[in-house]
Structure 1
């Protein structure tokens, strides 16, 4: 495999060197850009540079990320000129106040937001470029958004929203409290959440305006129903709750695509574990699916292009415990025999690799592929941070940064929810 990497992997020094990657994407309408950690500077800047090119050169419609819908709406409204005119970027990013805040409240993302706002102002595109969050975690914030909007409208649908809120309210916005009550004591709010979703979906036409309120209401209702399912399930099965989360992200994606129309072209930013096709990993043995697999199955592999990202060593922003303070940690040299180790042995430099029908079979041997989460213990990395993967089937392309640096978080007041 090292010989194959020396043959097919190409060095890069700038975004212009990635022209063959842009060319390989071709007419694909769904481009998924991964990352092997949520705290690496180069993954954010490279994805931002690729995103700019895809929007400018291939007319992509919106970006969808592994983030909460309500918080990402603050970015979407800002870049589309839907928020107040004197709002500053830092104020926008303060919406990301749920741990881990650094995933989106960071200096690397600020340049892309500025650029998106500028291109929306200067171009004559029929639809402005959007920025949306696909994740499932914002149960309470999404309920707040629904009730706030329906209250302003004095809408008859408000009754269903209040009924759902009343059911969740005793848990005092604590996900773990609801998870235990629903998962072990059968004291759940499934009926109320599904009734709210049904009500919103049937009546979303009432909310259509130039503020994207119909889409906003629909996805917030999806979040409410699917987050209820996620938290109720998570105490019993990691695999089932994972599937609920990734299927929700695809449902949310489909809502946005329907809003933009059948010609919409999508750039998705998520961790490699979400975008790299699960069928090419040991996740398949556990009955787990992910966004990359589901998108390929729904739209066809010719319409989808998945790019993984990885590194040999460096530094990363992460925490030693859930809800803990972020810190800069050293990323040790990749485990011997892993994908990242092999790429480094092929050449200790920044490289990109395109998988195609001619070479996929040369990368079909299952190898460990590093995945770093927001909770990370470098000293124990060899025991759980490598996902057995058939790289040729998992991705359509791969970007390797030999030595990476930690992300630069903005200093915000943390709110642990």
Structure 2
């Protein structure tokens, strides 16, 4: 194991050496509302793009929202000249996950970096998630109306099937327990027609295809959600991994991708208690599909500080105090052993017992109650197996949300929101 104190972006050199020729680098976060994690992830990602030639950033966000950001950062026709404008259009609660000053700064840098390069060499920004059923449906209508009016019937059939439930997709999930209420057939037809049309080259074609994949994934997700258990989680993370693979194929031979998501999606689920519950995640699936040498998983951890989160699902965000990590946890041990900020690169035969053994590792979602620290908010973890590297911040501060329109969030990640 190698430990490097962090003080400047150049201090990521040992981690970049570990990346080498990896095709995918997944970079986590221990909370969705922390300035330090986002800032350090930004610094690392800038180097991956500028020095290592990574092709895109794919985040735990909705495809249509992130597609507006993508058009801005790549200076595509119709894209906003300022990426902040695209980020402020995020509406799904919790908007602060991506509509924040830290992401806006990165996107402004990415646009400036991109405009100095040919269009086909510009780094993209994409969403991996599965939730945007209605937004993706509308995007498909817009695309087919211009490119393939003959396929609009399939889209209209799918829309009519979901329409009785309005935007209350949880009601569709409940109703789908009865075969007559399911929209599977209509969605399959929509996906087939859109995929066929999207066989032509062009970013708009690919985006329409991906929106159809979102509709198909969302239908499966909401139908499984009402049954409880790990199935809906697995559908979501499998969809995100499938999207990652489609992006790699779309960007062509030699493409390399960076993923931004919560530690619970990035760190290999097999090194946690998630495996015993039958759950998989992006980190595990990426390793299985591409091989461990092609994938680098980077987690984050912190001892105490402040975070942006909400006390209840759908309520306004606020800055909350994160208390010192509980004794025996990964974070408590690193507080005792590590400098204020450091990057730990795992591997080799000299790994200590606290890296190879199991210890609780803190995970904070968009809903947070610090009083739960005595019994919740932690995931039993074998650190050196879950990640290839960990970025450590002893004390952290809350990020800075942008003003954004907010609509009620979905219930699918309730109550924690990771």
Bucket of the pairwise TM-score, normalised by the shorter protein: over 0.9
Match of 1:225 in 2: 216
Match of 1:9 in 2: 3
Match of 2:361 in 1: 369
Please give the secondary structure, in 1, of the residue aligned with 2:199: helix
* Contact 2:89–2:405, Cα closer than 8 Å, also in 1: no
Q: Is 1:405 aligned to residue 407 of structure 2? A: no
* Contact 1:281–1:388, Cα closer than 8 Å, also in 2: yes
In 2, Cα distance between equivalents of 1:81 and 1:123 = 11
| 1:32-89 superposed Cα distances (whole Å, 9 cap, x missing partner) | 1000000000111111111110111111100000000000001100111114476433
Please give the secondary structure, in 1, of the residue aligned with 2:391: strand
Match of 2:156 in 1: 162
Q: Is 1:71 aligned to residue 65 of structure 2? A: yes
Give the superposed CA RMSD: 1.6
* Contact 1:356–1:396, Cα closer than 8 Å, also in 2: yes
Q: Is 1:343 aligned to residue 331 of structure 2? A: no
- C-alpha displacement of 1:359: 3.5
User: Per the alignment, do residues 175 and 72 of structure 1 end up closer, same or farther by CA in structure 2, a change over 3 Å counting?
Assistant: same
In 2, Cα distance between equivalents of 1:386 and 1:185 = 39
Match of 2:18 among 19, 24, 27: 24
Q: Is 1:131 aligned to residue 125 of structure 2? A: yes
| 1:292-344 superposed Cα distances (whole Å, 9 cap, x missing partner) | 00000000000111100010000000001111110100001001100011100
Match of 2:248 in 1: 257
Match of 2:370 in 1: 378
1:49-128 map, 5 Å: 49-84=43-78, 87-124=81-118, 126-128=120-122
In 1, Cα distance between equivalents of 2:57 and 2:194 = 24
In 2, Cα distance between equivalents of 1:260 and 1:141 = 24
Q: Which runs of 5+ in 2 are unaligned?
A: 410-418
- C-alpha displacement of 1:154: 4.5
* Contact 1:272–1:371, Cα closer than 8 Å, also in 2: yes
* Contact 1:318–1:326, Cα closer than 8 Å, also in 2: yes
Please give the secondary structure, in 2, of the residue aligned with 1:202: helix
Q: Is 1:300 aligned to residue 294 of structure 2? A: no
Match of 1:173 in 2: 167
In 2, Cα distance between equivalents of 1:86 and 1:233 = 37
Match of 1:289 in 2: 280
Q: Give the alignment's TM-score, normalised by structure 2.
A: 0.94
- C-alpha displacement of 1:361: 6.6
* Contact 1:360–1:393, Cα closer than 8 Å, also in 2: no
- C-alpha displacement of 1:121: 0.9
Q: Is 1:331 aligned to residue 322 of structure 2? A: yes
In 1, Cα distance between equivalents of 2:394 and 2:80 = 41
Match of 1:266 among 246, 257, 262: 257
- C-alpha displacement of 1:238: 3.5
User: Per the alignment, do residues 82 and 324 of structure 1 end up closer, same or farther by CA in structure 2, a change over 3 Å counting?
Assistant: same
In 1, Cα distance between equivalents of 2:164 and 2:137 = 14
Q: Is 1:317 aligned to residue 311 of structure 2? A: no
Q: Give the alignment's TM-score, normalised by structure 1.
A: 0.94
* Contact 2:132–2:218, Cα closer than 8 Å, also in 1: yes
In 2, Cα distance between equivalents of 1:71 and 1:198 = 23
